[in-house]
Amino acid sequence: MAEDKEKNVKNDPGLATIDKIISLCKRRGFIFPGSEIYGGFANSWDYGPVGVELKNNIKQLWWKRFVKQRDDIVGIDAALIMNPKVWEASGHVATFSDPLVECKKCHGRFRADQLDGVCPNCGGKDFGEPKQFNLMFRTFIGPAEDQANVAYFRPETAQAMFVDFKNVLQTTRKKLPFGIAQIGKAFRNEITPGNFIFRTREFEQMEIEYFIPKPARDEDWRSFFDKWVEEMYGWMEMVGIDTGKVSKLEVPEDELAHYSKRTIDFEFEFPFGVKELYGLAYRTDFDLKNHYKEAPYKEDEEGDAFWPHVIEPTWGVDRTVLAVLASAYKEEGDRIVLKLNPKVAPYKVAVFPLLKNKPELVEKARGIYNDLKKDFMTAWDDRGNVGKRYYAQDEIGTPFCITVDFDSLTDERVTVRDRDTMEQERIDIADLKSWLNKKLNK
């Protein structure tokens, strides 16, 4: 199945391959291999100066769209290491595992469900019996490393929304339907991480637990579910993910997680194949029932208490970054350009003095740069020639570049070059901010 899908990836020479994306990320400062001077470490990756801007912009856009601009969703930011009883109640201690097999020839360990019978290390075909391997990272609280002090790094952000449900309810007085959102790190001891930032052991999630009344009929939860499908598409369009490369996979009943009655995986045509980008699940009242002995919610004082049901849309931050990069990456002739949505672009604008060794140009350009910096993430570049600077800013995805030339000194105008059309316009320096605001907020 996976193999067939990988063959479906279009054979387009200008298309982003994962190697091209990794190389661009490294040379421009989006993403570096983690602990590189020590030979890297366990498929970890570090976001560099422009990568962190891109990632933060994505997270802030998400928070704005789903928390700040909605009346029915509130946010939390919970501890990464929670009481281990949380993970017992949620079922993670018992069932959050993948089947692991060992190659008898090279002793390499792999996920049994991702193998096609041949060892990717040595080509061996003889494997031991599969064992269930729990993906949670264990640690110890305090100085004594014994069983009584075992704790886990959270493998998902979701459980905190259930555990904090009552506190949120009491402090916000929200009525169903309402949601709790969180963005944060999650940790999974993946057996075979890989494909750049697609699967790592430490990653970030943006999750919402959306609480709904106990459904009397199937349509009652299905209508919320369908709305979230639309919301997720709306998000992908806004952030700049090519939705032409997104497909929905209805997870078959016999493959559903233990808590789920329906799950859709939103799959994206990544450069290395069609794989899960986001998920949407109807979790019934499984979670709140497990965490709260007594039903935690009443519609009003007279009503009966009950356990709300949950629709859970979940987004991986790093997979979003990768899908955004893959969607934005274009090769046009000999130029490489990231056609990022300006809202997520690390820099909104760059300022150049035409020549570095002309103090009057540098001073004028510096003045514009310092002024724009107050309102926009602004880059400064005075290296090489203007062509080289355009080349660099295109690779970072900066929507506009401003050049200060000799005419600027007398006519108070500058040349603004558009990343996507490469067209140039002369703009009054006094109008720059309003011009940029209009263009960036389209």
The binding site for ligand ATP (CB under 6 A) comprises 156, 188, 190, 199-200, 203, 205, 276-279, 314, 316, 318-319
**What percent of the residues of the chain are helix, what percent strand, and what percent coil, each to the nearest 5?**
35, 30, 35
Three-class SS state of 23: helix
- Taking the least distance from each CB to ligand ATP, the nearer of 275 and 366 is 275
Q: In one letter, which amino acid is 316?
A: G
Is 179 buried (19+), middle (13-18) or exposed (0-12) by CB count in 10 A?
buried
CB of 135: closest distance to ligand ATP in angstroms? 9
- Taking the least distance from each CB to ligand ATP, the nearer of 190 and 395 is 190
CB of 161: closest distance to ligand ATP in angstroms? 14
Residue whose tokens read 């069609």: 274
Structure tokens at 393: 């800013």
Structure tokens at 285: 């009242």
- Taking the least distance from each CB to ligand ATP, the nearer of 200 and 341 is 200
**Which residues touch 181 (CB under 8 Å, ≥6 apart)?**
63, 66, 67, 73, 74, 75, 76, 161, 206, 207, 208
CB of 11: closest distance to ligand ATP in angstroms? 25
CB of 265: closest distance to ligand ATP in angstroms? 7
- Taking the least distance from each CB to ligand ATP, the nearer of 277 and 311 is 277
- Taking the least distance from each CB to ligand ATP, the nearer of 206 and 402 is 206
CB of 158: closest distance to ligand ATP in angstroms? 9
CB of 198: closest distance to ligand ATP in angstroms? 6
CB of 96: closest distance to ligand ATP in angstroms? 9
CB of 342: closest distance to ligand ATP in angstroms? 24
Q: What is the DSSP string of 188-241?
A: ---SS-BTTTTB-SEEEEEEEEEEEPPPSSHHHHHHHHHHHHHHHHHHHHHHT-
Using an 8 Å Cβ cutoff, are 169 and 297 in contact? yes
Nearest residue relative to ligand ATP (C-beta): 316
**Which residues touch 405 (CB under 8 Å, ≥6 apart)?**
354, 361, 414, 415
- Taking the least distance from each CB to ligand ATP, the nearer of 314 and 341 is 314
What does R_g of the chain's alpha carbons equal in angstroms? 25
- Taking the least distance from each CB to ligand ATP, the nearer of 191 and 295 is 191
Quick one: which of 164, 178, 180, 182 has its CA closest to 212?
178
- Taking the least distance from each CB to ligand ATP, the nearer of 159 and 205 is 205
Using an 8 Å Cβ cutoff, are 49 and 26 in contact? no
- Taking the least distance from each CB to ligand ATP, the nearer of 187 and 297 is 187
CB of 258: closest distance to ligand ATP in angstroms? 12
